[in-house]
Amino acid sequence: MKTGIIQQHNTADRNDNMQRLADGIRALAAEGAELIVLQELHNGLYFCQVENVDNFDLAESIPGPSTEYFGALAKELGVVIVTSLFERRAAGLYHNTAVVIERDGTIAGKYRKMHIPDDPAYYEKFYFTPGDLGFKPIDTSVGRLGVLVCWDQWYPEAARLMALSGAELLIYPTAIGYESTDTEAEQQRQREAWTTVQRGHAVANGLPVVAVNRVGHEADPSGHTGGIQFWGSSFVAGPQGEILYRASATEEERRIVDIDLKRGEQVRRWWPFLRDRRIDGYGPILKRFVDRT
């Protein structure tokens, strides 16, 4: 499957961001892309650097303007698009939601981000209610997609549950970057940890992984920090964790990567991790912490 990724910097101009995404989608479709994955909250700046109630005005309904916009592109170009939106479900109830648009322009399904961080410059708990749709793959004309979002990528449980539900591909729209006061060595450790844990999900589940991150610097509106330098490095890994493509840490990129969905079947035959799982012994995983006393 020809999978397109768009790693982009964002500005405060929503229309400009969306137009550049549309240009990228058209270019990838012209090159034969069947599936195109966009980064987390791709329409605007990463507003979660501060807690500001006015930012709730950025949220929109689903279906709504963005699903209509990208739906029209999907239908025109005959591609499946994975989008990432700030969903307004009701007054005072908002989600960080990935929406998969089918090639006919309809909504194939959506996933609401389950794991919500709350760290300096990533104040997502202020904005997003934890997802309530579970870890359910989305069926599309190009395959069954296990779509998760950013902070979800650190949790092996999320990837495993998607795999157990029949996902053929794990997809992570992402917005992650360096804290400005960290040393260069610490920054690189964090970036490599981010890549490594997701490659581990590929290996443990015998599935390809697509992670699409934003790139560039976004200032902290409050001025309390030096802002976030998003580290790009979007990548595609195969079912043994092998890197099929890795984008720049500093530049915008769009790229098509060929993913062999059938190869995962053979990899699982070699490494039958799902067969050998000891489901009778995993009960304590449902506890917050296992007290050995």
The catalytic residue positions are 40, 113, 150
- CA-to-CA distance for 171 and 155, rounded, in angstroms? 13
Sheet holding 209-213, edge to edge: 138-140, 143-147, 169-174, 209-213, 235-237, 243-246
- CA-to-CA distance for 163 and 274, rounded, in angstroms? 9
E strands in the chain: 2-7, 35-37, 80-90, 93-101, 107-112, 138-140, 143-147, 169-174, 177-179, 209-213, 215-218, 228-231, 235-237, 243-246, 253-258
Quick one: DSSP state of residue 168?
Answer: S
CA distances from 182 to 216, 217, 229 (A): 17, 15, 11
| Residues 233 and 209 sit within 8 Å (Cβ to Cβ) | no
